[in-house]
């Protein structure tokens, strides 16, 4: 696991991932990996649910003045997540037999009392590899 960040915005990102992870575990998902990175980007959470590989993008916004957290998962960001997932599957043969699902968890507000919006199947792609 990577060391905790010192920059406030990075700490907030890590805290929002922790919040999302706890929420998803309560919903029955199982953590496989956290923060898988490659040259295309990073996948925040790699989880498993009912025989499905769930790739989770966690987004945090302290307020919605410039759009909510979920709105920040643009088409470009989705493409980076998909490319990163392709690299993940190339490097982790034991995940390849699982169907892949892309979820978004939007965390907003004060992290001590955050609002969580979980969007299963937030976007999709035909044929990962």
The tens digit of pLDDT for each residue in 87-102 reads 999 999 999 999 999 9
CA distance 30 to 69: 23
pLDDT at 8: 61
| pLDDT confidence tier of residue 72, bands split at 50, 70 and 90 | confident
> Quick count: other Cβ atoms within 10 Å of Cβ 48?
15
Instruction: Note the helical H segments in 40-119.
Output: 75-91
- Domain residue extents for the chain: 8-123
Choice among 25-34, 42-51, 114-123 with the minimum mean pLDDT: 114-123
Cα–Cα distance, 89 to 1 (Å, whole number): 20
Give me the mean pLDDT over the 26-47 stretch. 97
Q: Which of 47, 23, 12 is nearest to 118 (CA)?
A: 23
Nearest residue to 55 (alpha-carbon basis) of 35, 76, 26, 39: 35
Q: How far apart are CA 37 and CA 21, in angstroms?
A: 18
pTM exceeding 0.85: yes
Domain 8-123 in this protein, CATH class: alpha beta
87 vs 5, higher pLDDT? 87
């Amino acid at each position: 696991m990577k060391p905790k960040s010192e920059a406030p915005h990075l700490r907030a990102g890590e805290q929002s991932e922790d919040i999302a992870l706890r929420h998803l575990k309560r919903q029955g998902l199982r953590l496989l990996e956290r923060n898988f990175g490659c040259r295309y980007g990073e996948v925040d959470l790699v989880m498993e649910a009912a025989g499905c590989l769930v790739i989770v993008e966690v987004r945090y916004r302290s307020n919605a003045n410039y759009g909510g957290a979920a709105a920040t998962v643009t088409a470009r960001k989705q493409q980076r997540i998909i490319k990163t997932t392709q690299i993940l599957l190339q490097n982790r043969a034991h995940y390849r037999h699982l169907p892949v699902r892309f979820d978004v968890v939007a965390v907003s507000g004060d992290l001590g009392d955050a609002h969580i919006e979980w969007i299963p199947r937030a976007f999709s792609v035909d044929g990962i590899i």
